[in-house]
Amino acid sequence: MLQLETVSKTYRNGFTALEPIDLRIEAGERVAIVGSSGCGKSTLLRLAAGLCPPSTGRVLLHGRPVIKPEPSVGFIFQEPRLMPWLTVEQNVAFGLRGPARHRHASVSSALLRVGLTAYGHYYPKQLSGGMAQRVAIARALASAPQLILLDEPFSALDAIKRAELQEHFLQLWESEQLSTLIVTHDVEEAIVLADRILVMQPHPGRITEELRLDLPLDNCREAPGFEALKKQLIQSLRPPSVGAGQTGADPVPFAVAHAIHG
Amino acid sequence: MARFQPFQLNPRLKRSLIPWLVPLLLLVLWQLLASRGVIPTRILPAPSAIALAAINMGRSGELWGHLSISAGRAGVGFLIGASLGLLFGLINGLMPRAELLLDSSFQMLRNIPPLAMIPLVILWFGIGEEARVFLVSVGVFFPVYLNTFHGIRSIDPGLIEMGKVYGLSPWQIVTNIVLPGATPSILVGVRFSLGIAWIILIVGEQIAANSGIGYMAMNAREFMQTDIIVFSIILYALLGKLSDSMARGLEHRLLPWHPNFQRTAKAVPSKPAIS
Ligand SMILES: Nc1ncnc2c1ncn2[C@@H]1O[C@H](COP(=O)(O)OP(=O)(O)O)[C@@H](O)[C@H]1O
Ligand SMILES: [Mg+2]
């Protein structure tokens, strides 16, 4: 479905954010890219969405080159990015085309799916962070995309809200059979939301490892392999020079902090 | 069963009455002092005398003539200055090249107080209508220009990127995202500039005019009519307040989403957030 062929990005100031990357996402697949902040995750996603042109290589959607944002690709950002002057309903309808009746139906059904039907007339400033992010999800769903790109979508929320929304998103994914590409610095989030995880390293941004998961979909946090997988991923995220000699020697809490904020 | 409760006003009525308490007391005090001759009429006439002067001027029609002339000048000057301010604010806000070309010139002109131009303006236009309208326009231009420019430049780039995700054209991004996003700031400029328009008009009319409220006050000074002078000052205060209320009304109307103007309290979800 989505294909990146030796896509790289060097910004105008000469900074290479991304080395050539090859990536393929099949229909219905859920892929996560984990990497520390600044390793080029957002850059990769913006390239995939056609929001900025790659320096080399090309992005293909269904075999056709992507040069500008495609209607069949949804994007959910870290912040909800709702228009403050539009109500929840109008925000969800943002960017929808076609006859008013169809748009209205898409909006209602998207709001229903995220459980916000009662809040259609609220303004964004009246919503909590979690609700606002669900509006953003509804907005992405309303245009019935085949692929959703998510850029650290839940990282601005507290741990409880984050887990709730992740569960919610899983249910949505099961009912919609969407392809998703999510980038995150949160190893746990990657394991919960994806079947396939790519590990990214910074300076310059590149993919260093790939994992296929066979954890059960629901309640995967309690699955036997979860903790081991988490540890393994955290190890892979650490810079090679540190990780090489001392594997397993560092106490895990330090490793977690390092991986997340490093 | 409702009990009869004397002196129990409803809280909203109370809130709207209390601010008037101090002005009312001062007015009563003023009236007392003036009518007992403690304050000489030449210095400050009694409120009742001022009211009387106002009524007389209203009857003779003189008041309405001056009032409509002043309001007309303020209105025309405001319209010209605000339109130009909005236009250049939009142009420079949206086009960095235009900003490079024009903004530093505007910043230089901005530092000239419009009133400092009065001698020059009189030389240019004489003491005709153009002089006052010109001065008011200049004074109104800068607040509107600056706030429009600033409003456009401070739009969250994330919202613009959102628009691009949905394939909006540059023009659609301007009309759907940039303009609504800049409206609060533009209205701040409008409100501020209305105040400035009146200030400039007062001075302009006092120095170079033969009609208008400022002229009415200066003319009264020649004849030592302190009551009319004080009345003119009160008129300016009322007109300033009136135009400010109008600007606020516009804000309420155009910005129902803005937390500052929400009539209802912040809505708290009555349901659990996840349903
Ligand atoms: N427009 C830009 N111009 C120059 N450098 C940029 C630009 N955008 C991002 N970068 C740099 O590219 C690197 C990767 O950024 P980003 O993709 O946002 O990382 P992440 O999303 O993983 O935190 C960072 O070092 C950042 O400073
Ligand atoms: Mg990022």
Instruction: List pLDDT tens digits, range A220-237.
Output: 777 777 787 888 888 888
Structure tokens at B235: 């008129």
- Percentage of residues in chain A with pLDDT exceeding 70? 89
Q: Once rounded to an integer, what is the mean pLDDT over residues A113-140?
A: 93
Pick from A69, A122, A131: CB nearest B165: A69
Structure tokens at A162: 């984050």
Final residue before a domain boundary, out of A144, A165, A182:
A144
State residue B263's pLDDT score: 52
pLDDT in tens, A165-175: 888 888 888 78
Is A15 part of a structural domain of the chain? no
Is A14 part of a structural domain of the chain? no
pLDDT in tens, B192-221: 999 899 889 888 888 877 889 999 999 998
A66 and A104 assigned to the same domain: no
Residues of A within 8 A of B161 (CB-CB) are 51, 77, 81
A223 and A199 assigned to the same domain: yes
Single-letter code of the amino acid located at B95: M
Q: Judge whether residue B3 has pLDDT over 60.
A: no
DSSP string, A107-161: HHHHHHHTT-GGGTT--GGGS-HHHHHHHHHHHHHHT--SEEEEESTTTTS-HHH
State residue A134's pLDDT score: 92
Q: Identify the structural domains of chain B with CATH numbers, from first to last.
A: 65-264 (1.10.3720.10)
A139 and A155 assigned to the same domain: no
pLDDT range class, residue A217, cuts 50, 70, 90: low
Q: Judge whether residue A245 has pLDDT over 90.
A: no
Determine the Cα–Cα distance for residues A51 and A13; give it in Å rounded to an integer: 18
Final residue before a domain boundary, out of A144, A168, A191:
A144
Q: Judge whether residue A81 has pLDDT over 60.
A: yes
Determine the Cα–Cα distance for residues A70 and A110; give it in Å rounded to an integer: 19
Instruction: State how beta strands A73-76 and A147-151 pair.
Output: parallel
- Number of other residues whose CB lies within 10 A of the CB of residue B261: 15
How far out from the chain centre does Cα B177 lie?
A: 27
- Would you say the CB of residue A43 lies under 6 angstroms from ligand 1? yes
Is A219 part of a structural domain of the chain? yes
- Percentage of residues in chain A with pLDDT exceeding 90? 55
Q: Confirm or reject contact between B170 and chain A (CB < 8 A).
A: no
- Would you say the CB of residue A14 lies under 6 angstroms from ligand 1? no
Of B183-192, B200-209, B222-231, B245-254, which gets the smallest average pLDDT? B200-209
Is A206 part of a structural domain of the chain? yes
For B114, half-sphere exposure in the C-beta direction (CA atoms, 13 angstrom radius) is: 25
- Would you say the CB of residue A40 lies under 6 angstroms from ligand 1? yes
Structure tokens at B249: 């009304």
3-state secondary structure (DSSP) of residue B127:
coil
Q: What is the CATH number of the domain that holds A256?
A: 3.40.50.300
pLDDT range class, residue B7, cuts 50, 70, 90: low
Q: Once rounded to an integer, what is the mean pLDDT over residues A190-201?
A: 90
Closest listed residue to residue B238, CA positions, set B213, B216, B265, B263: B213
Final residue before a domain boundary, out of A114, A144, A174:
A144
A193 and A206 assigned to the same domain: yes
Is A242 part of a structural domain of the chain? yes
Residues of B within 8 A of A84 (CB-CB) are 181, 257-258
**How many structural domains comprise chain A?**
2
Nearest chain B CA: its distance from A167 CA (Å): 11
A213 and A173 assigned to the same domain: yes
Q: Confirm or reject contact between B179 and chain A (CB < 8 A).
A: no
A165 and A37 assigned to the same domain: yes
Looking at all shown ligands, the one closest to residue A44's CA atom is 1
Pick from B165, B266, B271: CB nearest A49: B165
pLDDT in tens, B28-68: 999 999 989 888 888 889 999 999 999 999 999 989 999 99
State residue B74's pLDDT score: 92
Residue of chain B whose Cα is closest to the Cα of A143: B166
Torsion over CA: B132, B136, B139, B142 (sign): negative
Provide the domain limits for residue A181: 28-51+61-72+149-261
